Amino acid sequence: MKRSTSLQLLLIDNLIWVLVALFFVVNAVFTPRFASYRNVVNILYHSAIMSLLVLGQGLVLINGKLDLSIESTLGFAPGIAMLLSMRIAPELVGPGTAILITLLIGAALGWFNGFCIARLKINPLLQTLATMIMIRGILLYIFPFSLFPLDPVYRFAGAGRLPGNIPVAVPLVLVIFLILNIGLQHTPFGRRFVSTGGNPRASYVAGINVDRMTVAAYVIAGVLAAMAGMIAAGRQGSVSNAMGEGMVLLSFAGALMGGASLHGGKGTPLGMLGGALLLGMFSNSLNLLGVGPSLIYASKGALIFLALLLDRSRSRWRSELLHREQMETLAIGS
């Protein structure tokens, strides 16, 4: 393969980081206080929750599925854990145990989705939609009002600060992305996981347990959504029944802009981090420019549309490049 073709493919695969860099430079010039240290930290902090949802959604998309329930899991997992810790059994469930319960509830909800989709062959859209509505309804019933104050230990991930006034959530999320990026790209499990989403039939013939990969994708997404809920609860100092509402569609946008595909088998966690950061910078810049809430809401719809265009365009550009390279190779050979 020619070097120029390799560079173009590299650019297509990392297009999100080009967009992130361009967007940052443009706003640094035209948006007041956008590039200040305080605002950059603020962008990273306020992107932490969405980043975990984007990562969870992206992993499910890589597996060739989708998950609408992660926004409800975000509120449900910390809600049940705090209910046990503060109301039902405070003498048995301390803050440390509550953290573990939060993650276990996220994993259990993910396993339920994965089992129904992989083993019972329920459509992923309908299954996760049913789960989203079901657990949101339970959350609304259990928490008609917010639950507070939360224990400082439980709040630490969302409210703790490091030297330089850096929120604990920022390095925590970055480490999670790094671990999953290494696991997905440099381990046998990761290679099996990606190949299952790209071609499940061929993966099955090759001896990969396709159903197990699907369940694993939903379990990881559930745990990530629960962690996002824990950060959200820590940041606001309470658990409310509205946590996570309206975030699932933006998680699709971030994952697709970050390189995941609706057709499965594509994407990396680091690319999805770029998608989440672009969403965070976009929202932040509109707020700094004084754009009204209605227009911000409309612009989020435009971002989702942009994500769909990028998903389609990336596939077409890659196919055209590879086709041209193949034709040139055949011409030289003849």
Q: What is the pLDDT of residues 102-143, one digit of tens each?
A: 999 999 999 999 999 999 999 999 999 999 999 999 999 988
CB count in 10 Å sphere of residue 163: 5
All domains of the chain in start order, with CATH: 3-12+40-333 (1.10.3470)
The partner residues of 308 in beta bridges, in order of sequence, read: none
pLDDT less than 70: residues of the chain: 1-2, 332-334
**Residue whose C-alpha is closest to residue 297's, from 309, 287, 312, 289:** 287
Q: Tell me, what's the pLDDT at 66?
A: 95
Separation of alpha carbons 101 and 9, rounded Å = 43
| Residue in the structure block whose two tokens are 């990336």 | 314
CB count in 10 Å sphere of residue 127: 24
Reported pTM: 0.93
Q: Tell me, what's the pLDDT at 298?
A: 85
pLDDT in tens, 318-334: 777 777 777 777 776 66
Distances (CA, A) of 121 to 20, 52, 112, 114, 126: 38, 27, 12, 10, 11
